[in-house]
Structure 1
Amino acid sequence: METLREQMLFLLDQNLYDSADLLGCFLMSSMNSCTDLSPAARAENLILYGDALYGKREYKRALSVYKQALQQCRVGPKQSSSSGSRNTLQIGSRSSSSPTNTPLINEHDVKFKIALCHLAVNDARSALSEMEGIPAKARTLRITLTQARLYRITGYERAAIAFYKECLRQCPYALEAIIALAEMGVTQKEMQPQGQSKNTRLTSDHLDQVRWLQRYAEAHCAVACHDYKGGLEQLSQLGQRFPNNLHLTLETAKVEVALGKTGDAMHNFEKARQIDQFNITAMDEYSLLLRSKSGHLEMNRLVNDLLDIDVGRPEVWVASAVYWDMREDKERAAAYVDKSIRVEERHGLAYIVKGNIALSMNRPEAALSAFRKAQALKPDLRSYQGLVQALLKIPKHKEALFAARDAMKAMSHSAKALTLVGDVYAHIPDGREKARKFYESALRLEPGYLGAVLALADLHVLEGRNNEAIALLQKYLKNWTDDALHIKLAQILAATGKVGESLKHFQIALSMNPQNELAKKGLDRLEKQMKGVDPDALEEEENEVEDVDGDQQEEEFL
């Protein structure tokens, strides 16, 4: 048995989990047939076998084995909590011990392993229950960080904040803790990321480290408070200090998306791909940006690349869902986004994409559920927008107004949030005047926010003021060149019978973005109208043909 144990240790240290699992079967068989083996020695053997199963991602089997080991630990001698560990996941004694020798087992390490198994199968509360049994003096940085995450997942934010702060006290470079604290509303000063005692001599190098850590915390605090301009400024300064930094480049791109700087965001996402072509982090965000630009070829290339890198990441399946949604295959898109949630149920963007797909399939109740989940994980403007759209479709105007006002409170200086409140009032017959005021307030706050321009133009059309809508769009086209503005203007011009001008703007939109489906469809309809053909009648005939074909196929099947 001693030889089996030594070889198990060797295989685990080499990360050869399949071989360790096979050999572990022989170790378990030998152990069960040995009557004079001490409980501590049995616990050690069980821990080794559990480590092999954990390494193979067979978490429920590993959980069962670790629990058996813990029972043995409780009847054998205990190891000091300050003892070393074999490695990150396999915390056991390296010492060779015979059945007659008594190995020392750290019960707290076994509890941590059990917690990791619970966490791996998405049972956060059971994981937390195990972690709370580990005393403070036995907590390593990794244990403290894991317990902070569990408190946050289970909704105990005050405890999570205390544990994340303890992580920073132990290691001010635990950037994961800084990000989490910022998202929970903790200010940079409260974090005190420097973790420096008063007696420590401050060298110039240390001061530099303190400055950039503070700036890093300030950037994330600003983004968490929806102060995207302030966050972008801090990230830009960090980018000058650390050029070609993948993490900073991706964070900058995401903030630029929130600010509506799609061109700059596209540049930074492409730069991130050049820095590391095998990176998957935030590539689902990139896919959404590509979709907004109708980048079919780029999307196809991105999704294929991601599938080749790692199918075990949720971002891969979110990007796949976005791609098939762009291809109008809604069912496949929905299946892929559900797959991303099965891979990682706390990936917030997956629920936003799921909600938008449900809206496009006219399933507002399902969309509402998805957006609420996204909101619970990480509130942002997109989840607020989704909530409002879903509630308006149900329709629940009062609840939609509450959601829009919550967005306005959370993002008091956001033109997009003001526009969202206007959108709700626009759906209420006696609220259109309020809607106009909110749209105009949004444009005063941010003159370049084209979402408010398009919404105000739609409101003018809704109230029969087509000429005002045309004048508004022409005014903005003098300073902002955007294909969406040209399409909206072309649609209104076509509705008012100004076919020639409408045709010109559709063509301009297509020249700016050849993949724009709205421009293609609008131009196609306009050309049919110019030929004296009713495009709506043709569409009805095509639908009738499709229905007949479907009936014939059903009869053949029966």
Structure 2
Amino acid sequence: MEVPRDQLQLLIDNGLYDSAEMLGCFLMSSTTSSVDISPSARAENMVLFADALYGKKEYRRALNVYRTAYHCSKLIPKQSVSGSRNILPTGNRISSTNPIHVSPFNENEVKFKIGLCHMDLHDIRAALTEMEGIPSKLRTLRINLTMGKLYRMTSYDRAALISYKECLRQCPYTLEAIVALADMGVPLKEIQSVLPQAQSKSGRPPSDLEHVRWLHRYAEAQCAVISQDHKGMSEHFNNLLQRFPNNLHILLETAKAEVAVGRNDEALLNFEKARSLDPYNLTGMDEYAMLLRTRADPSELNRLLNDLLLTDPNRPEVWVASAAYWDRRDDKFRALTYAEKSVRVDERHVPGYIIKGNLLLSLNRAEAAVMSFRRAHQLRPDLRSYQGLVRGNLAILRPKDALMAAREALKAMPHSAKALTLVGDVYAHNPDARDKARKFYESALRLEPGYLGAALALADLRSVEGRNAEAIELLEMYLKDWADDSLHTKLAQIYAVISNLDEALSHYSAALRINPDNEAAKKGLERLERQMKGADPDLPEEDEENEEDDAEAEQEETEY
């Protein structure tokens, strides 16, 4: 043949896809014009050319050539051979054990490649249809893992479970499969049954089984994350960190798990450690950005976003971080634009839906916010999605749906003060159920005395009931141990209600010294200043100016 096929394969193996596509055009010209070329060689030439196109990310062109090659392969006579030449380029090869009577052309590999093209063109069902045509016994690790992901995207959880289990049978160290099975709520014992057993039955020394024990520990940690078992999660991840110090993946998994149960201070520390280990890592950095957004000093968030944009601007984490940055600058609409972009880049990116839901709530678009939180909840339930569903449903006057979400959170996290507080928040919106709300808040504080969210909610409830002295006493008690701007703001609001304006002014000022960007304190202080001037604090400034102008006009008319 005039065009050496092995040279085209060499270009593809080295990732030189532009050169490979150019040479492939010559190969295809020889293939189509020659009458002497066999159907097998013709099909394999087409597959090589399609590989070059796939490497250039020209997925639709590649799909068309792969299909043509597959149809051409039907003309190949069946031969008795022991195996077939692997036609995948390096990095994309899929090896399979072929039966005795097969075609030299590997149809299963081409079916998988056709499926990959469909997947990259976002036609998930067509991709699955192609891959399901590969006999289950001939599916490699890569095929099974890809199919597991596709099944999850289409909510075929039972089929996904089978694919992920098969991955672990083929390679027990496929950690993606362990995480996916835990995410799907598969019981720990069922996951461990597929892993190599940690108990020695052959009299081997215990040291030979250490590599198996940490794998089981990893599965235990992931299941603890999904069941919101913070104590178990911390124990397992800490054990893994002792065995594998400075492990970036474990630090990030720990931090993300702490975010999921609302332990933000601990999560911040672990994200900081992870970032110091690898400043160019993108995984989990959007979660870190969302936490940094709440800090008074925006400089670290600015640096983080700049680093992420320089590393890879096409990842969803970058757009979530951008949304957090613009939200921090109080440009909600611009922030929402970036949040929406993050979920367009990756439709299964949970932090994108979380920040999008929070932004929609702040823009008084509660129904759209509920849809965003519901999607996040479907993908991976955590405290933030429960909180968003409760707040959103209360805002659109659906207390039953809010209570259902809160109770589901409590069922998932029975030992969580935050989940108890969430149920109390729902009852607090009903004047006839405030006694129930109080009991849940008090239970939350007994379980976790340092949880300020429950203390603030209980103080707010007491103030609404007219028990302002008790509310002040509770908040003053917490202020002895925590210099927190939200405590000062709540105290200022209650003092303003009972017309103790000097104390209100003192606490608003203290809140703004701790956090100059506290919007509630800034608005409260503006209102308080109008009140101290003797003006109506609920009257907008423009109306006040109009009233002053009217008064001056009346005075002038009287003088005239």
TM-score (norm 1): 0.88
Q: Deviations over 1:499-535 (max 9, x none)?
A: 3323333343344344444444444554565566666
State the match for 2:457 in structure 1.
455
Q: In structure 1, give the amino acid aligned to 2:166.
A: E
State the match for 1:498 in structure 2.
500
Aligned to 1:29, what secondary structure does the other structure show?
helix
Counterpart-to-counterpart distance in 2, 1:80 and 1:524: 84
Q: Deviations over 1:247-267 (max 9, x none)?
A: 111122223334443332222
State the match for 2:468 in structure 1.
466
Q: In structure 1, give the amino acid aligned to 2:48.
A: L
CA contact 1:364–1:393 (8 Å) conserved in 2: yes
Counterpart-to-counterpart distance in 2, 1:436 and 1:115: 56
Q: In structure 2, give the amino acid aligned to 1:272.
A: A
CA contact 1:80–1:106 (8 Å) conserved in 2: no
State the match for 1:179 in structure 2.
179
Mean CA deviation greater in 162-171 or 374-383: 162-171
Change beyond 3 A, Cα 1:63–1:223: same
1:23 aligns to 2:23 (yes or no): yes
State the match for 1:342 in structure 2.
344
State the match for 1:233 in structure 2.
235
Mean CA deviation greater in 253-262 or 208-217: 253-262
Q: Size of the alignment, in residue pairs?
A: 536
State the match for 1:159 in structure 2.
159
State the match for 1:252 in structure 2.
254
State the match for 2:139 in structure 1.
139
Q: Specify the structure having the higher radius of gyration (Cα).
A: 2
- Give 1:454 deviation, angstroms: 1.5
Q: Deviations over 1:347-381 (max 9, x none)?
A: 11111111111111111221122112111111112
State the match for 2:52 in structure 1.
52
- Give 1:57 deviation, angstroms: 2.2
CA contact 1:51–1:89 (8 Å) conserved in 2: no
- Give 1:204 deviation, angstroms: 4.2
Q: In structure 2, give the amino acid aligned to 1:180.
A: A
Q: In structure 2, give the amino acid aligned to 1:382.
A: R
- Give 1:543 deviation, angstroms: 11
CA contact 1:89–1:113 (8 Å) conserved in 2: no
CA contact 1:81–1:108 (8 Å) conserved in 2: no
CA contact 1:4–1:23 (8 Å) conserved in 2: no
Q: Deviations over 1:67-116 (max 9, x none)?
A: 222212232256867764432326699xxxxxxxxx93211111111122
Counterpart-to-counterpart distance in 1, 2:21 and 2:85: 26
Q: In structure 2, give the amino acid aligned to 1:383.
A: S
Unmatched runs of 5 consecutive residues or more in structure 1: 94-102, 545-558
State the match for 2:14 in structure 1.
14
Counterpart-to-counterpart distance in 2, 1:234 and 1:432: 39
Counterpart-to-counterpart distance in 2, 1:77 and 1:311: 49
State the match for 1:86 in structure 2.
89
Change beyond 3 A, Cα 1:537–1:91: same
1:453-532 aligned at under 5 Å gives the runs: 453-527=455-529, 529-530=531-532
1:66 aligns to 2:69 (yes or no): no
Q: In structure 1, give the amino acid aligned to 2:316.
A: P
Mean CA deviation greater in 164-173 or 279-288: 164-173
CA contact 1:82–1:138 (8 Å) conserved in 2: no
State the match for 1:43 in structure 2.
43
Counterpart-to-counterpart distance in 2, 1:509 and 1:4: 75
Counterpart-to-counterpart distance in 2, 1:376 and 1:264: 26
1:363-382 aligned at under 5 Å gives the runs: 363-382=365-384
State the match for 2:196 in structure 1.
195
The Cα RMSD (Å) is 2.8
Runs of 4+ in 1 over 6 A off after TM superposition: 78-82, 197-201
- Give 1:336 deviation, angstroms: 1.0
Aligned to 2:3, what secondary structure does the other structure show?
helix
- Give 1:296 deviation, angstroms: 2.0
CA contact 1:318–1:337 (8 Å) conserved in 2: yes
Change beyond 3 A, Cα 1:208–1:226: same
Mean CA deviation greater in 8-17 or 492-501: 492-501
State the match for 1:217 in structure 2.
219
State the match for 1:553 in structure 2.
none
Counterpart-to-counterpart distance in 1, 2:117 and 2:323: 29
1:256-271 aligned at under 5 Å gives the runs: 256-271=258-273
State the match for 2:389 in structure 1.
387
Q: In structure 2, give the amino acid aligned to 1:64.
A: N
CA contact 1:385–1:420 (8 Å) conserved in 2: yes
Counterpart-to-counterpart distance in 2, 1:235 and 1:478: 34
2:293 to 272, 279, 291: 291
CA contact 2:261–2:383 (8 Å) conserved in 1: no
Counterpart-to-counterpart distance in 2, 1:394 and 1:466: 29
CA contact 1:118–1:126 (8 Å) conserved in 2: yes
Aligned to 1:349, what secondary structure does the other structure show?
helix
Q: Deviations over 1:133-179 (max 9, x none)?
A: 11123111111211222222222222322222222222221111111
Change beyond 3 A, Cα 1:260–1:343: closer
Aligned to 1:10, what secondary structure does the other structure show?
helix
Counterpart-to-counterpart distance in 1, 2:423 and 2:494: 24
Q: Deviations over 1:268-313 (max 9, x none)?
A: 1111111001000011100110112244222221111111100121
Q: In structure 1, give the amino acid aligned to 2:344.
A: R
